[in-house]
Amino acid sequence: MSGDVAVGARVALADRLASEGVLDAGWRSAFEAVPRHLFLPSVYWEFVDGVAVRRDQDADPEGWLAGAYRDTAAITQWDDGDEAGGQQDFTSSLSMPTMVARMLGDLDVEDGHRVREVGTGPGFNAALLAHRLGAVRVVSVEIDEAVVGLARGNLAAAGLGGVEVLVGDGADPAVGPGGRADRLIATCSSLVTDLPVTWVGQTVPGGVIVAPTATLFGGGATARLQVADDGRSAAGRFTGAADFMRMRQQRYQAPPVDAYLPGDWPGDAEASVTDLDPESIGGSWLAQFAIGAALPNVYYRRAPYGDMVTWWFFDTAVTSWATVDSVPDRSEFEVRQSGPRRLWDEIHTAWTTWEKAGRPGYERFGLTVTTTGTRTVWLDDPGHPWHLLAH
């Protein structure tokens, strides 16, 4: 592999990110200096138009290298390393450079800062931090021991082996050195209502936490929080859409439909109609985020049947369910609801509230997290909790 080719690819990638306005000038030298291809295995899967395409260094070295410097995510592990799992879920990856650059810009680091990273993955993000701040100022925590071994090797190959990479739960304050970091960045997603409050205590007052979040209902966004002067809370706005792997401790295993509907469908469900096509919700990542932030214990399954799509909605308490049949070119859609909660009515209310507010984007939503365990999503102002507005 030609060193000149790799250098040119790094510069070209930095040029693209800069032209798109996502690469802060302070991070350009790191993107140009750190070889992204050193953080990829000999076989990885590149996301192209939502499809994972296999890249094999031995079979196609030029394609393998080109993929390393495109603005795409690269899957480096499936099914927690279970090679017999059939590649059902990707569980470690090299994030899309655009997202890496945006989140590092949100972090707002300064010379001398100490950074704690949660979710080392292949180690590229830690390498960029180490190049900017110095390896001794970066501590990264990764829950998968095998991934840690690979990351340490990758960092060493890039000349940044001084980064401390630890095995453990990134939400556990006992993992890592004592004292608070100036900045904390996560490269794995937490539920917006379950963002680890321990991160507040691990960050200095006035420090910044940058973390991708998601809702059980769908949708995701990066939160940028600043720790209060008393160190007991952190608050800030969301900065844009984000789609990251869920923290392993927060993966949700939904119960079977039979747990909700033990008899024949539709059971005791009440029938009605709605003018809201659930496909409108499914087509908007932002709408899913807004609804999920208002209804954190509700999720859905989408079931196509020919031209029709039946949307199933469930609560995590396993007490209530609803269905809505989406049929093309219809203005009304059949609804069934069962249980003490009328889930579709709640979803419709959250959607309507979001619409009446002007379909606010991520930047109008914010999050407050306290060390006592509360997490509150708000709209425009911390005094306007979203879950209360949207009910």
Q: 339: which 2 tokens?
A: 């249980």
- CATH H-level superfamily of 257-356: Bacterial toxin RNase RnlA/LsoA, N repeated domain (3.30.160.690)
Greater confidence, 177 or 117?
A: 117
Q: Which residue has the tokens 């200095």?
A: 204
Which whole number is the average pLDDT over 134-158? 96
* Cα-only R_g, the chain: 22
According to the model, what pLDDT value does residue 247 have?
A: 87
Domain ranges in the chain? 3-188, 257-356
Domain 3-188 coded CATH 3.10.310.30:
no
Percent of the chain with pLDDT over 70: 96
Q: What is the pLDDT of residues 332-363, one digit of tens each?
A: 999 999 999 999 999 999 999 999 999 999 99
Q: Please give, one letter per residue, the 3-state secondary structure of 180-247.
A: CEEEEEECCEEECCCCCCHHHHCEEEEEEEEEEEECCCCCEEEEEEEECCCCCEEEEEEEEECCCCEC
How confident is the model over 121-126, as a mean pLDDT? 96
pLDDT for res 31: 97
Tokens of 293: 């932030």
- Cα dist from 229 to 149, 177, 234, 246, 368, whole Å: 37, 22, 9, 30, 14
Q: Can you read off the two tokens belonging to residue 336?
A: 């069934």
Q: Are strands 308-315 and 333-338 parallel, antiparallel or unpaired?
A: unpaired
Spatial separation of the C-alpha atoms in residues 252 and 192, rounded to whole Å: 14
Tokens 């953080």 found at: 39
For residue 40, give every residue at least 6 positions away whose Cβ sits within 8 Å of its Cβ, in sequence order, or none: 64, 68, 74, 76, 94, 122
Active site amino acids: 95
Using DSSP bridges, classify how beta strands 115-118 and 181-186 pair: parallel, antiparallel or unpaired: parallel
Confidence class of residue 202 from pLDDT cuts 50, 70 and 90? very high
| Position 79 pLDDT exceeds 70 | no
**pLDDT band at 47, cuts 50/70/90?**
confident
At 1, the pLDDT band (50, 70, 90 cuts) reads very low
